[in-house]
Structure 1
Amino acid sequence: MGHILVFGTHDFLRVPMLRLCFLISLLCLAKSDTDEACPSFTRLSFHSAVVGTGLNVRLMLYTQRNQICAQLINSTALGSLNVTKTTTFIIHGFRPTGSPPVWMEELVQSLLNVQEMNVVVVDWNRGATTVIYTHASGKTRKVALILKEFIDEMLAKGASLDNIYMIGVSLGAHISGFVGEMYAGKLGRITGLDPAGPLFNGKPAEDRLDPSDAQFVDVIHSDTDALGYKEPLGHIDFYPNGGLDQPGCPKTIFGGMKYFKCDHQMSVFLYIASLQNNCSISAYPCDSYRDYRNGKCVSCGVGQAVPCPLLGYFADNWKDYLLDKDPPMTKAFFDTAEKKPFCMYHYFVDIVSWNKNVRRGFITIKLRGEDGNVTESKIDQVCSRSKIQAQGPANEAEVPGPSRQASLVSL
């Protein structure tokens, strides 16, 4: 027997609507599946920052096999994470506009290009996005607890704390410290990139990043007079250009938003440069930037495999030497160029006086670069410091010292 379908007037009106709703549902499901298959960093708006966001932490795994398309993982699903390899966590900081960090993708790719590892991006943009800084800083310990839960699962599957590396930017540096504290400092390494200063300056060690949070803690301070933390926080603390105003960054408010964040972000760009270029940035252990600029810190120690500490990813080459110090904390200084790859050649001018008679005059110093470019600088009797600069990092030099006879010694 056949079946007869009977529709009323309202039914005919309803059928197209049902089809439309069904179609929309399919489209939504398709989009959702695509997003889950290849998730990206949470993108929010300034409106979200004004309204405020509740905390939601997403962990996105990148490996050499999936460098572009991340895999969402959590404490109950580690995905393709290989627990036998180094796992590097990247933790961002305060996000007052809700936008993704401009440096995140480049940092992930650069890490994967230098070593086979797991790279886990810790996306806590929902939580970090707010115009009220205290709201974001107040969530840092909650983020740390979520990360500990995930790492506990890694350990249960055979991972080692020795292979855990955390790179924390701004507030992310202190989050890394909180995680390390919960493991009694047994994490392999923490790198703090301009750790946040506001609300953390002057706090006791348990309330911020400190050397006891990991087996090795290295820190880059690039904005100590504003958004960053001034005092040492690690086994070695790097202070590019003294940790203050960075070359290439706007000096006035007319530079727009870049004026507020450029110095703070420079720590990240310097770290990335350490992964990408043949021009390694060496730093010089010293008590102060003034002493460094006055040529008082020209020796980095005897018997080191690496003559001087290297900035960034390879800073741990000095790990054993630093940990043998008492106390095991070192400040290191260096200067940078305005643009990538940021590295500069440094020269020390040793002045030899032939007699005690005061004579007036000046000394001209010329430097010739590998490309044949020549630059010169005059040192007169008044100036105690001169800076020689030429195009390209290989042709830039810092020349401290008074006038008289000079011998040029490459550091």
Structure 2
Amino acid sequence: MKSTVWLPLLAFIWGSASANPIVGLFDPACQVVTGECPNKNVSFWLYSNSTRENPKLLNPLDLNPWDFQPPRPLKILIHGYTGYRDFAPNSYIRPVLLDHEDVYVISIDYGPLVAYPCYIQAVQNLPLVSRCLAQLINNLVDRAIVANDQIHLIGFSLGGQVAGQTANYVKRKLKRITGLDPAKPLFILGPDSRRLDQGDADFVDVIHTDAFGRGYLRSAGHVDFYPNFGVKQPGCMEENMQDPGSCNHERAPRFYAESINSTVGFWGRQCTSWLVQLLALCPTTGAQSLMGYRVSNELRGSYFLQTAGKSPFALGKMPDVDNRQTLAKFHLNFKHNEIANGYEPQLLEAFLELDKVKVVVNMDKADLDKQLNWTHRAEDEPLSKNLIK
């Protein structure tokens, strides 16, 4: 019965080549890259409002403190599969941040490591990207160029998983990570060190918009938001009839960008679980909370909301509808209403776990979980190449 239910969905997803994690598995152009940091395949571009048209390419080992004067919060934007520094989330979020916030923005570019059609190899390249990003962050903080509590990582798709893996290598725990529909294929099983979770920063907020395709369904942060149940975003069938899943996926950074300066805001209500919300068994009165850039770091749990089908997407606060009589008819056992951690709608069940994929390249699989060894480094000494194994 389960196979019958999911067959149409799997067939739809399989029809989209960009959503198929095994495309390029045997393509000789697809490579797993090993190396040191800094790495020629990973670059960091610094933007401010005054330099937005002429960003500065940073050298993580030779940082100029004057590039970060006066002191401001630092937002680090991390693109996903097939991306680059002007790809989502950068193309949506960076202009709005620079227009409306007094911040620095670093756009990471690791496009050569996540090129189409090399998804499996892209996943295996993420530890290198994460180590190089951690090297930059550690040197910024060690030299007191940027305060650790002023750094905020914002990752879309594979970039959300890069943010989570970067937490394995930084010297000080990150203050905030935002995951924008973190990538699902090849991240379901295995240890938390490979994927974004709430242990990666003091506060992790996640927006789910393509949970039956490229993104997660189960919670991944301290607070998880599910616009339109996190599954099918209104307007996407009309916007991208050939691949509406891609549109669903990209709605996460688009919602987040709009939340920076929205006059009405994306307001959601808490529910005990996605399944209970699907069954319309959650209260529809009471407090509402903002999703996005201005989310409260005190929030915990799962929140649900609706959006418009085109920009502006935010609908403001939801009307109160008293459904207490309906809820009184049900006696829910809240210990058993969560979706099990082992359950996720899959792209292709044969390729859930990276360790089971036999890629025809040499790779040290232990590298995925390896952390930097800081014990022999002087406190004021920048990371050097030979410290990255």
Q: Do the two structures share a fold, i.e. TM-score over 0.5?
A: yes
Matched-pair contact (CA < 8 Å) for 2:210–2:245: no
**Any idea what the Cα deviations from partners look like across 1:220-278, whole Å, max 9, x if unmatched?**
011111100111110000011111011011189x822x424111111111101101321
Scaled by the length of structure 1, the TM-score of the pair is: 0.64
Match of 1:367 in 2: none
TM-score, with length taken from structure 2: 0.68
Indicate the percent of aligned positions where both proteins have the same amino acid: 30
What's the offset of the Cα at 1:202? 3.0
Amino acid at match of 1:113: D
In 1: Cα distance, 2:91 partner to 2:54 partner: 11
Q: Which residue of 1 aligns with 2:307?
A: 336
User: How far apart, in 1, do the equivalents of 2:312 and 2:163 lie?
Assistant: 27
Partner of 2:382: none
Query: 2:170 aligned with 1:183, yes or no?
Result: yes
**1:134 is the counterpart of 2:120:** yes
Q: Where does structure 1 differ by over 6 angstroms across 4 or more consecutive aligned residues?
A: none
Task: Name the counterpart of 1:93.
Answer: 80
Deviations 1:14-55 (A, max 9, x none): xxxxxxxxxxxxxxxxxxxxxxxxxxxxxxxx9xx9834767
Q: Deviations over 1:183-239 (max 9, x none)?
A: 377211000000000000133322211101111000001111110011111000001
Deviates more, 1:216-225 or 1:274-283: 274-283
Query: Which residue of structure 2 lines up, in the alignment, with residue 151 of structure 1?
Result: 137
Residue 266 of structure 2 is aligned to residue 288 of structure 1: no
Q: Which amino acid aligns with 1:311?
A: M
- Once residues 182 and 77 of structure 1 are traced to their aligned partners in structure 2, the CA distance between those partners, rounded to angstroms, is 20
CA distance in 2, matches of 1:164, 1:277: 23
The answer as to 2:206 corresponding to 1:211 is no
> How many Å apart are 1:351 and its aligned residue?
7.0
Matched, 1:270 2:241: no
Match of 1:195 among 182, 197, 201: 182
Query: RMSD in angstroms over aligned alpha carbons?
Result: 2.8
Deviation at residue 116 of structure 1 after TM alignment: 1.2
Aligned mates of 2:149, 2:320 — CA distance in 1: 39
Q: Which moved more, 1:146-155 or 1:78-87?
A: 78-87
Distance 1:125 1:351, change over 3 A: closer
The 1-side partners of 2:153 and 2:181 are apart by: 14
- State which of 346, 352, 361 in structure 1 corresponds to 2:318: 346
Q: 1:299 deviation in Å?
A: 4.9
The structure in which a higher percent of residues are strand is 1
Q: Which amino acid aligns with 2:319?
A: Y
Please state if 1:73 is matched with 2:73: no
Between the aligned partners of 2:282 and 2:245, the Cα distance in structure 1 is 33
Tell me which of the two structures has the higher relative contact order, counting C-alpha pairs closer than 8 angstroms and 6 or more residues apart: 2
Shift of 1:292: 4.0
Q: Secondary structure at the match of 1:162?
A: helix
SS in 2 for 1:215: strand
Q: What residue in structure 2 maps to residue 406 of structure 1?
A: none
- The equivalent position to 1:309 in structure 2, one of 289, 295, 316, is 289
Looking at structure 2, the residues matched to 64 and 219 of structure 1 have their Cα atoms a distance apart, in angstroms, of 27
Report what 1:51 is aligned to. 29
Q: Is residue 298 from structure 1 mapped to residue 281 from structure 2 by the alignment?
A: no
Aligned: 1:107 with 2:93 = yes
Give the drift of 1:342. 1.1
Counterpart of 2:54, as a letter, is C
Call closer, same or farther: CA 1:146–1:83 in 2, change over 3 Å.
Answer: farther
CA distance in 1, matches of 2:304, 2:171: 30
Which residue number corresponds to residue 371 of structure 2?
Answer: none
Local SS of the residue matching 2:247? helix
3-state secondary structure, aligned to 1:225: coil
Residues 185 and 212 in structure 1, CA contact (< 8 A), matched pair in contact too: no
SS of the residue 2:186 aligns to: coil
* Correspondence for 1:220 among 186, 195, 207: 207
* Residue identity in the other structure for 1:157: R
Q: SS of the counterpart of 1:109?
A: helix
Q: Is the 8 A contact 1:284 1:292 kept in 2?
A: no
Contiguous gaps of at least 5 residues in structure 1? 1-45, 301-306, 323-328, 354-411
Distance in 1 between residues matched to 2:265 and 2:275, nearest whole Å: 23
Pair 74,156 (structure 1): closer, same or farther in 2 beyond 3 Å: same
SS at match of 1:106: helix
Query: Which amino acid letter does the alignment assign opposite residue 94 of structure 2?
Result: V
Count residues in correspondence.
288
Between 1:61-70 and 1:338-347, the stretch displaced more is: 338-347
Q: Which of these two proteins has the greater Rg computed from alpha carbons?
A: 1
CA shift for structure 1 position 309: 2.0
